[in-house]
Structure 1
Amino acid sequence: MKKLISITVCALMLLSIVACAKEQAPATETLTGVGKGFGGEVTVTVTKEGDKIIKVEAVGENETKGIGSNAIEQLPAKIVEANSTDVDVIAGATYTSEAIIYAVNNALDPVKYPAPTEEVKEEKDPISQSAAKVFQGFGLASIGRLGPGKDDTGTPVYSTNDVFANALFDENGKILSLYVDILEVATPNYDGEGMPHFSGYPGQGGYNYDENHDEVVDSKTVDTEDNFKAEVNSWNTKRERGDSYRLNTGTWTDQMNYFQDMFVGMTVEEVQSWFDKYTSDVNGRPLKADSDKPEDQAKYKALSEEDKAMLADVIGSATMSLKDAHGDIVAAIKEAYENRIPVETEEIASQGTALVSVPRLGPGKDDKDVPVYSINKVFANSLFDKDGKLVSLNVDILEVATPNYDGAEMPHFSGFPGQSYNYDENHDEKIDATLTVTDEIFQKEVEGWKTKRERGDSYRLNTGTWTDQMDYFEELFLGMTVEEIKEWNDKYTSDLNGRPLKDGSDKPEDKAKYDALTAEEKAMLADVTSTATMSLTDAHGDIIAAIVKSFENKVALDLTIK
């Protein structure tokens, strides 16, 4: 009997324990969150059982297929496994990964991680400036970058970075307006979406190609002239890449605009001093309180509380480097000041800057029958009045050719390290060797690039230097709108080579076009061709397109000239 009572009591106790366990089982709840992805909103549904994340589902319809979609498919499982958002991002899909992580945090703690609001980009009023005299300067700083890293086959990634600055200064050297952009071009084994690519010249065998930006090489690029032309023609600057080129605290353009506004009112010496004092000696980025680099920690601690407060404001909007292997922005600004020229006008309503890249097949071949190729980057820096008429124009071209070109002083680009090309060392139209590019040769070539203006008197054409002829056209176009400049070019230059029409041409098309002009127009062209005969639109560079593009890129100025 006692045994039966004991069993009954135990059974009752077991039932009680089971009932208690059921009562105390952690509740299941479903939460939703949102983050800002590469193409728009990324939403997540998070299922929790007590403190444990048991399921995460992510949706991002506008994320790039094969890139952002990889993060949407793979990252939720990582978060469930870790029971945390402290997980590694999916390689090649950083932006979408960070959006998923933020969305999960927003679902779990919406107070600490509020839902991102739609960005409303307001047109900022230009900074009001006044000056007795205005000077305009253009600066270009080119750097070759080793990396970042290598692809999955161990082949390095390389890039070139052209930083260009269009700046206005007053008579005391203070910056009145500043516009900076960068053309970064990488080998096609780089996994970053939207990065402009260059595979090398035809005949160099192409380069490893990561087609879907997943850090896995898919093939080699085709080794053709068509691919060479297509790559160069498709290059976009960092500003042209727009919202697709984002950094930690916003787009590259937003961050560059912040620094530009901050430097207005400073001299280039003051810009250099600011950079030296307030940025990292390791990576050129603004100093931060929580840096893990001892050198940066020491530099930051030496600042005053006022300096630290100022830097806190800066890094709230701009954290990118002003000087690293991605480009020396400070050097380009200083170069713009060194190149400044006076602007003779009483009104400046807007400032425009543009780059147009053109591939060239030729001129000709070397004595081994290997073609010569070149790349021409045309930079146009313009100032316009309120009616859109040019009041100042500065055009320059960076032309770089394969090293089998026999012209002395021509800047060379022989390709990326590991690639080779015929080399005419003494410019006698005979090949002396095959140049195999090393890291050192690559960087030295890029850092030695000179524009046509920088080449000075060494770059001569039929009727004077390139600079003299370009100066003539710049003066000729003052007072015109870009539409009028296009019309002038269409009417008065050859449809074959872009050069001003001349009497006595042996080309039937040019002769017919010239003969249709009035006597007054022919007299005007005679004046032009006595000084300037070079082409305005050919494979050496589309100058007209660059001027037009500078107008399309114009930004308003609030500048009073006393």
Structure 2
Amino acid sequence: MKRIVSALIVAALLTSLAGCSSSETLTGTAKGFGGTVTVTVTREGDKITDVKVDAPNETAGIGDKAAAELPAKIVEANSTDVDVIAGATITSEAILYAVNNALDPETYPSTAENGEEEEKEPQQIAASDLYMGQGVVNTSRIGPGSDDTETPVYSFNQVYANALFDAEGRILTLNVDQLEVSTPNYDGASMPHFSGFPGQGGYNLDSDHDAVVDGKTEDTEENFTAEVASWQTKRERGADYVMGTGTWEEQMDKFEETFVGMTVDEVEDWFEKYCSDLNGRPLKDGSDKEEDKAKYDALTEEEKAMLADVTSTATMSLQDSHGDILSAIRKAYENRVALTDVKAASGFGFGLSTTARMGPGSDDTDTPVYSFNEVYATTLFDSEGKIAAIYVDQLEVSTPNYDGASMPHFSGFPGQGGYNLDSDHDAKVDGKTEDTEENFAAEIASWQTKRERGADYVMGTGTWEE
């Protein structure tokens, strides 16, 4: 966000308010994630009528979201007692504190550092000090349960972690997201769906999420394309993904905040010491599980206080059938690359695009080949929004009748009959894949991105990775 306050703007604002003795304009500051956050608050009597935010050093796409959305919430509530913007907690809290500083500077003294009022240059980072990594981990899930016709619910879960590391491997910035795709008989609202590939008969559909099947999804290429295009990550689902405590996004933000400054080894040690061995969730006081109770009781009072702070927001598992967040963070570190040409950076982002593909062609029984493709991009931006560094990877998952070696496969869900298999990649079908939950789990666990496939993914010129 560019600076919006200048002497001319302030002068014009003061002139416009000169005729209204009950109106006043106040300025407050606070320390944000990247630097000083400045707010201009207009108040008429006891009512806040306008809030403007100047946060030039906050992360693009994250901090500027808080700067854009919070002012209206403050004006509507006539108070700073409003919810922070998910994913931008630090900037949100800085904005709220800066408003309090403007309204009552004695009770809320500015937390901004001296000399930061002017827009600062992005931090200079030595090339040897900065590494960027991205990791993807795929898991299958059987359940929860079945629909009212006893047809099971299945899903695949993909956790994406991208991070910046320093030379010692400490996490400087961490962003985790997840895509969960279920069969359409799952009764949860906003869940991304996949009915299998065209020709597999569609799948039971609970269209109104009342735990009663309403029919089947269309067994067409059009529905296949539409389903894949509609997939949203848990962060993209935002407020629609409500958990026992807040949203998935809010819980993940808390874990990220906790792990920044640690190495991946330390994150794994934290998980080992402070999370349940039964379900991977952070330990809490009052557990009725003897194993969890004993583990919690062995902690110091300081450690218990830390966990109480974490679990006030984040209670979900870091490693279970819903997704393996812990392993994704480890993989991001293992995949890290040195940013040798980066001089300065001020923004960090992750993007995912999903598309369906018909073909190439059909097998020797005229059964079509299909695939879905996911492209992941981890990007570092400079202060002008220009790309300072980028790391792109892709997962392509095809039906097992595709004759290319090393291609990840998916045969559809158990109960759909499996799919034609070309096991020796000679363009001739050798049979069908097993229609079992074991094969379902094994296929998903074996998925590799194009970078992970490495030298096996040969193109007309070199490899995909090159």
- The bucket for the TM-score relative to the shorter chain is 0.7 to 0.9
TM-score if structure 1 supplies the norm length? 0.61
Partner of 1:233: 229
Partner of 1:385: 382
CA deviations 1:443-471 (Å, max 9, x no partner) are 11111100000000110111110011xxx
Shift of residue 291, structure 1, vs aligned partner: 1.5
Runs (5+) with no aligned partner, structure 2? 1-80, 95-121
Shift of residue 124, structure 1, vs aligned partner: 3.6
Partner of 1:431: 429
Partner of 1:485: none
Q: Is the 8 A contact 1:135 1:168 kept in 2?
A: yes
Partner of 1:346: 343
Q: Is the 8 A contact 1:169 1:175 kept in 2?
A: yes
CA deviations 1:17-72 (Å, max 9, x no partner) are xxxxxxxxxxxxxxxxxxxxxxxxxxxxxxxxxxxxxxxxxxxxxxxxxxxxxxxx
Q: Is 1:361 aligned to residue 358 of structure 2?
A: yes
Shift of residue 299, structure 1, vs aligned partner: 1.4
Partner of 1:512: none
Q: Which has the larger radius of gyration?
A: 1
Distance, in Å, in 2 between the alignment partners of 1:293 and 1:427 is 51
Partner of 2:414: 417
Q: Is 1:161 aligned to residue 157 of structure 2?
A: yes
Partner of 1:404: 401
SS at structure 2 position matched to 1:205: coil
Shift of residue 281, structure 1, vs aligned partner: 1.2
SS at structure 2 position matched to 1:405: coil
Shift of residue 437, structure 1, vs aligned partner: 2.4
Distance, in Å, in 1 between the alignment partners of 2:199 and 2:134 is 35
Q: Is 1:466 aligned to residue 430 of structure 2?
A: no
Question: Counterpart amino acid of 2:303?
Answer: D
Q: Percent of pairs identical after alignment?
A: 59
Q: Is 1:211 aligned to residue 207 of structure 2?
A: yes
Q: Is 1:253 aligned to residue 249 of structure 2?
A: yes
Q: Is the 8 A contact 2:123 2:345 kept in 1?
A: no
Q: Is 1:311 aligned to residue 307 of structure 2?
A: yes
Distance, in Å, in 2 between the alignment partners of 1:345 and 1:169 is 14
Runs (5+) with no aligned partner, structure 1? 1-116, 469-562
Shift of residue 289, structure 1, vs aligned partner: 1.1
- Residue 243 of structure 1, aligned match among 234, 239, 243: 239
CA deviations 1:392-437 (Å, max 9, x no partner) are 0000000000010111100001111112211111111111112232
Shift of residue 317, structure 1, vs aligned partner: 1.1
Shift of residue 248, structure 1, vs aligned partner: 1.6
Question: Counterpart amino acid of 1:351?
Answer: F
Q: Is the 8 A contact 2:123 2:344 kept in 1?
A: no
Distance, in Å, in 2 between the alignment partners of 1:345 and 1:408 is 37
Distance, in Å, in 2 between the alignment partners of 1:255 and 1:134 is 27
Distance, in Å, in 2 between the alignment partners of 1:455 and 1:415 is 22
After superposition, the Cα gap between the structure-2 partners of 1:249 and 1:431, relative to the gap in structure 1 and judged at 3 Å, is same
Distance, in Å, in 2 between the alignment partners of 1:416 and 1:282 is 27
Question: Counterpart amino acid of 1:241?
Answer: R
Q: Is the 8 A contact 1:129 1:176 kept in 2?
A: no
SS at structure 2 position matched to 1:358: strand
SS at structure 2 position matched to 1:353: strand
Distance, in Å, in 2 between the alignment partners of 1:368 and 1:241 is 40
Q: Is 1:148 aligned to residue 112 of structure 2?
A: no
Q: How does 1:66-77 map to 2 (within 5 A)?
A: none
Q: Is the 8 A contact 1:131 1:171 kept in 2?
A: no
Distance, in Å, in 2 between the alignment partners of 1:331 and 1:129 is 30
Distance, in Å, in 2 between the alignment partners of 1:142 and 1:129 is 35
Q: Is 1:223 aligned to residue 253 of structure 2?
A: no
Distance, in Å, in 2 between the alignment partners of 1:260 and 1:161 is 19
- Residue 316 of structure 2, aligned match among 311, 317, 320: 320
Partner of 1:291: 287
- Residue 330 of structure 1, aligned match among 314, 326, 342: 326
Question: Counterpart amino acid of 1:428?
Answer: D
Distance, in Å, in 2 between the alignment partners of 1:194 and 1:291 is 31
Shift of residue 130, structure 1, vs aligned partner: 8.5
CA RMSD of aligned residues (A): 1.6
Q: Is 1:121 aligned to residue 85 of structure 2?
A: yes
Distance, in Å, in 2 between the alignment partners of 1:118 and 1:139 is 34
Partner of 1:20: none
Distance, in Å, in 1 between the alignment partners of 2:399 and 2:288 is 43
Partner of 2:367: 370
Partner of 2:73: none
SS at structure 2 position matched to 1:464: coil
Q: Is the 8 A contact 1:418 1:436 kept in 2?
A: no
TM-score if structure 2 supplies the norm length? 0.74
Give 1 or 2: higher helix fraction. 1
Q: Is 1:195 aligned to residue 191 of structure 2?
A: yes
Distance, in Å, in 1 between the alignment partners of 2:243 and 2:212 is 23
Question: Counterpart amino acid of 2:433?
Answer: L
Partner of 1:181: 177
SS at structure 2 position matched to 1:352: strand
Partner of 2:13: none
CA deviations 1:519-540 (Å, max 9, x no partner) are xxxxxxxxxxxxxxxxxxxxxx
Distance, in Å, in 1 between the alignment partners of 2:156 and 2:281 is 20
Question: Counterpart amino acid of 2:298?
Answer: A
Q: Is the 8 A contact 2:125 2:342 kept in 1?
A: no
CA deviations 1:135-169 (Å, max 9, x no partner) are 00000000001111111111110001110111000
SS at structure 2 position matched to 1:241: helix
